Amino acid sequence: MALVSKKKIGVLMGGMSSEREVSLSSGKAILKALTGKGYDAVGIDVGPDVVEQIKASGIGIAFNGLHGKFGEDGAIQGLLEVLGIPYTGSGILASAMGMNKIVSKTLFRAAGLRVGPFRVVNRGDRPGLVSAQSEIGYPLVVKPSAEGSSVGVSVVRTAERFDEAAELAFRYDAEILVEAYISGMEVQVGILGNRALGAIEIVPQRDGFYSYQAKYEAGGSQHYFPARVPESVYKRALDAGLHAHQVLGCRGYSRVDFIIDGNGEPFILEVNTLPGMTATSLLPEIAQGSGIGFPELVEEIVRLAVIKSEK
């Protein structure tokens, strides 16, 4: 089969966010898949001299394997636009909106997707923290407004733990969300191109939610594909996932996270515009269950980027 692009591909990885190590794992897996498919590809460990790195590499297309701030929030996308280098995944605006949970939740709610109650509190606003607790009630979730991989996220069941959780979230962002805790099944929908590939069920083995440790430590969670829900609920989740992807204007691929409550209703948590891309990450696991191997998934993401750049 012919290569979808003869240009040299630079796999951007690492970066300067709290998700650096996760990004390095994604980037190495992507690079291995591309070279195994016969592509001229090189890894770029992104640092403050990223412009010089990219220019020196001579790449003609970028596979964005970054996660978190500067990679997932529209920053690197804007830089690549200025440099005239096509790249995988969503553009500047969709990336920025997807990374900011306040903006994305507001848009999802306006589009008719189910979003749990939440309040926004700025650093130093003690009255806001107090009122958020009384308005949302316990149990609740405290999280930074613009972090991924569940960094800085806490499920809080009693008032005694609230201040500690807020302090943790404020370490990562100047504004945080206090959300209602929705009890139910954690389900994540994989999007590729313009279709929902499938939905996977996550059963965390610790922390009571899909925490950083549950995501990346051995034995942290169990996965079931397809998700163990009735067919009608499964279809509802797929439709909601694709709708959320389109609401933000995402391109290429994404992973959409839901809690499905006891009534079978999917409540959206967030859209990950640059989901993990190791061979055992959730989007690749969904793709594998749908008949798409990891190297083929990586190649399809490149193909979608090439199509985007030719429009």
pLDDT tens figures, 17-52: 888 999 999 999 999 999 999 999 999 999 999 999
Under the banding of pLDDT at 50, 70 and 90, the label for residue 249 is very high
Nearest-angstrom CA–CA distance, 18 and 36 = 29
Which run of H or of E encompasses 16? Answer: none
Exposure string (b/e) for 145-171, b if CB count within 10 Å is 16 or more?
Answer: bbbbbbbbbbbbeeeeebeebbebbbe
Query: What is the pLDDT averaged over residues 42-63?
Result: 96
Query: CA torsion 191→254→19→185, rounded to 10°?
Result: -50
Under the banding of pLDDT at 50, 70 and 90, the label for residue 117 is very high
Query: What is the pLDDT averaged over residues 194-204?
Result: 95
**Mean pLDDT, all residues of the chain:** 92
Of 198-202, 210-214, 236-240, 255-259, which gets the smallest average pLDDT? 210-214
> Taking Cα atoms as reference points, which of 136, 216, 219, 228 lies closest to residue 187?
228
Instruction: Give me the residue label for tokens 């302090």.
Output: 167
How do 175-180 and 221-224 pair as beta strands?
unpaired
Q: What is the pLDDT of residue 219?
A: 57
Strand partners, 268: 258
Q: Where would I find the H helices in the chain? A: 20-36, 50-57, 75-83, 92-99, 101-110, 126-136, 162-170, 212-216, 231-247, 282-289, 294-310
Q: Yes or no: say if 60 and 7 are a contact pair by the CB < 8 Å rule.
A: yes
Whether the link from the prior residue into 139 is cis, omega within 30° of 0, is: yes
Q: Yes or no: say if 257 and 272 are a contact pair by the CB < 8 Å rule.
A: yes
Under the banding of pLDDT at 50, 70 and 90, the label for residue 146 is confident
Q: pTM score > 0.85 for this model?
A: yes
Query: Does pLDDT of 6 surpass 60?
Result: yes
Of 139-148, 220-229, 247-256, which gets the smallest average pLDDT? 139-148
Going by C-beta distance under 8 Å and a sequence separation of 6 or more, which residues neighbour residue 269? 257, 258, 259
**DSSP one-letter code for 149:** T
Nearest-angstrom CA–CA distance, 196 and 112 = 18
Q: In what order do the strands lie in the sheet with 253-260?
A: 221-224, 195-204, 185-192, 253-260, 266-272
pLDDT tens figures, 122-144: 999 999 999 999 999 999 999 99
Query: What is the pLDDT averaged over residues 173-202?
Result: 96
Q: What is the pLDDT of residue 210?
A: 47
Angle between helices 75-83 and 50-57 (to 10 degrees): 40
Query: What is the pLDDT averaged over residues 99-113?
Result: 96
pLDDT tens figures, 65-89: 999 889 999 999 999 999 999 999 9
Query: What is the pLDDT averaged over residues 297-310?
Result: 92
Nearest-angstrom CA–CA distance, 14 and 217 = 19
Q: Which domains does the chain have, with CATH numbers?
A: 9-89 (3.40.50.20), 97-114+183-273 (3.30.470.20), 118-180 (3.30.1490.20)
Q: What is the pLDDT of residue 30?
A: 98
Query: Does pLDDT of 121 surpass 70?
Result: yes
Q: What is the pLDDT of residue 204?
A: 79
Catalytic residues, which ones?
19, 149, 216, 255, 257, 270, 272, 276
Q: What is the pLDDT of residue 209?
A: 52
In the chain, % of residues over pLDDT 90: 85
Nearest-angstrom CA–CA distance, 215 and 281 = 9
Q: What is the pLDDT of residue 156?
A: 95
Q: What is the pLDDT of residue 214?
A: 47
Q: What is the pLDDT of residue 290?
A: 97
Going by C-beta distance under 8 Å and a sequence separation of 6 or more, which residues neighbour residue 298? 30, 33, 34, 37, 63, 277
> Taking Cα atoms as reference points, which of 210, 206, 185 lies closest to residue 272?
210
Q: What is the pLDDT of residue 147?
A: 65
pLDDT tens figures, 273-298: 999 998 779 999 999 999 999 999 99
Tabulate helix, strand, coil % of the chain (nearest 5): 40, 25, 35
* Structural tokens at position 215: 């995501």
